[in-house]
Amino acid sequence: MAPSSREKSKKRPALKARHGAAGKTKLPANKPDHKNAAGHRKLKVALVGFGTVGRSVAKLLCLDVHGPLVLTHIFNRNIEKKKVEGFPAHIRWTDDIEKVISSDVDVMVELIGGIEPAGEWIRRALRVGKSVVTANKLLIAESGPQLAEMARQMGRRLEFGASVAGGIPAIIAIQEGLAGDRLHRIAGILNGTCNYILTKMEASGAGFDAALKEAQSLGFAEADPRDDVEGFDARAKLVILTQAGLRLQVKPNEIPCWPISAVEAIDFLYAHDLRCSIRQISLAIKEGTGDGVRLLAAVRPALVPLSSLVAHVQGSQNLVLASGEFAGQIALSGYGAGGDPTAVAVVSDLFSIARQSAPVQAGYQAAMETPVSVSGDFTVPHYVRFVVKDRPGIVAEVAAVFAKFGIGIDALLQKPDFARTALPFIITLEACSSAILDQALQEINSLDFHVQTPLCLPILLT
């Protein structure tokens, strides 16, 4: 999952001095150079946050000594514990944010994450005439349009390409590469942690807990993985893509999300019987026009056909799919997490600011609409897995409830050699409203044969 404020990837070794051990990256000599090769003044950059991503950004900026940017300030709490050898002597290390905001830097790069104090620091930087680059998906999902408007009013830039899908240039591709199209659909895999867990379960037959533990040991998941496995991380990214690509104003709490923790190894066996796999899918669809624009959006685990692109996204990779009226569907894939991929996106935003002096907002180049409704009620086929204490008549009782709600059964699958005291079987359903299906499942849940709560997953035929 793209690193968030928590920057979840393996810790990288401290950067060594220029004449360090063989094979180490050599940073430039400690000579200040605030002009590029053409003699023009370089943009001065301050890093706010020196974790995994911050270190990678600093490394890239210091290696490109002839570029249009110069790193002049690094801020972090307890900065003395964070300082590493080998950086140019002119860089000022500080744990006082006031020294950054009151400095002469041109661009502040915010990498601490979270809503506050990051939001207030960004607002203050914009007010005093600094442009801002951020990888903060939570803040941009919540307040991106307002911050972009503030930047515009101040004649500054706000860039946030690193807030979605790490090193994948999703926002700039959607906004600039597809500027002439009318996008109506955004979909994809936006959380590498969840994708790693699900593909591990699929490949090895491991349970959710074992796959999560491995993801944590490899640095893909945090000690507290709730934001990832509950869908909150992917939802924030979907909000940003919806605002930037579909041009719809929406808040994170308006989009429903479901956890992946209820998925079990046996679900992949049944999914393969249906020629499908299981992934955490983020999906937003714009419907209607004018005053009747509606948004269908959700983040949830779902069955996807093995013939689809999303079924083949492995490990911690991300995939963004954008569909337009004229150009059809485009796909962007790559690693959405880790210090280096995210740092590439941050530095690319810095180069964009260096190239363009005008206060153009890459993420919000067109006015946004407010949808009349936001709903996660998709009408699609569904997969429902039951685990029951077997007795005669169970299927008939389940079928009767589905029929009562007008829901048609497509198929029933039951694998042999399971104990009759905890017997799993699945029913696939014809396309139906997920909201109506929820009502039917509430009634089915009251029946007396369940060993565990049924698992319901949409089948997304795309």
pLDDT in the model for residue 290: 79
Q: DSSP letter string over 276-290?
A: EEEEEEEEEEEES-G
Task: Tell me, yes or no, if the pTM score tops 0.75.
Answer: yes
CA distance 96 to 288: 50
Q: What pLDDT, on a 0 to 100 scale, did the predictor assign at position 403?
A: 98
pLDDT value of residue 415: 95
**Mean pLDDT (whole number) for 283-304:** 95
pLDDT level of residue 106 (50, 70, 90 thresholds):
very high
Give the C-alpha separation, 149 to 153, whole Å. Answer: 6
Closest Cα to residue 211, out of 252, 166, 263?
263
**Per-chain mean pLDDT for the chain:** 89
Under CATH, to which class is 170-336+362-375 assigned? alpha beta
Please, are residues 159 and 349 in contact by the beta-carbon 8 Å criterion? yes
Backbone angles phi, psi at 190, to 5 degrees: -115, 0
Crossing angle between the packed helical segments 339-355 and 52-63, to the nearest 10 degrees: 50
* pLDDT for residue 170 is more than 50: yes
Q: Give the per-residue pLDDT at 35.
A: 62
Average pLDDT over residues 169-198: 92
Distance CA 85, CA 260 (A): 42
- In this structure, which amino acid lies at residue 137? K
Bridging pattern class, strands 294-305 and 317-324: unpaired
Across the beta sheet with 423-433, the strand order is 409-413, 423-433, 379-388, 450-458
Question: What is the DSSP track for 96-146?
Answer: -HHHHHTS--SEEEE-S-SSTTHHHHHHHHHHTT-EEEE--HHHHHHHHHH
pLDDT digits (tens, 9 = 90+) for 308-318: 999 999 999 99
pLDDT at 257: 97
> What are the tens digits of pLDDT across the range 321-362?
999 999 899 999 988 767 888 899 999 999 999 988 545 554
Q: Which of 8, 200, 237, 286 is catalytic?
A: 237
**Model confidence over 86-104: pLDDT tens digits?**
899 999 999 999 999 999 9
CA neighbor of 455 nearest in space, from 263, 325, 278, 199: 263
Instruction: Please indicate whether residue 404 is annotated as part of the active site.
Output: no
Beta-sheet pairing, 423-433 with 379-388: antiparallel
Q: Indicate the SS3 state at residue 3.
A: coil
Distance of CA 42 to the CA centre of its chain: 32
| pLDDT value at residue 66 | 72
Asked if 133 and 346 touch (Cβ cutoff 8 Å), the reply is yes
Query: Which of 221, 228, 218 is closest to 258 using CA atoms?
Result: 228
Whether residue 88 contacts residue 34, with contact meaning beta carbons closer than 8 Å, is answered with no
Please compute Rg for the chain using Cα positions.
Answer: 25
- Are the CB atoms for 194 and 1 separated by under 8 Å? yes
The 3-state secondary structure of 391-450, one letter per residue: CCCHHHHHHHHHHHCCCCEEEEECCCCCCCCCEEEEEEEEEEEHHHHHHHHHHHHCCCCE
Domain covering 379-458: architecture: 2-Layer Sandwich (3.30)
What whole-number distance in Å separates Cα of residue 45 and Cα of residue 319? 31
Q: Are 100 and 48 in contact (CB under 8 A)?
A: yes
Tokens of 185: 């659909």
Q: Which of 385, 462, 6, 56 is nearest to 193 (CA)?
A: 6
pLDDT digits (tens, 9 = 90+) for 362-417: 446 567 899 999 999 999 999 999 999 999 999 999 999 999 999 999 999 999 99
Q: Would you say residue 39 has pLDDT above 60?
A: no
Q: What is the pLDDT of residue 22?
A: 37
Three-state secondary-structure class, residue 186: strand
Domain ranges (residues) in the chain? 170-336+362-375, 379-458
What is the C-alpha separation between 30 and 77, in angstroms, rounded?
A: 24
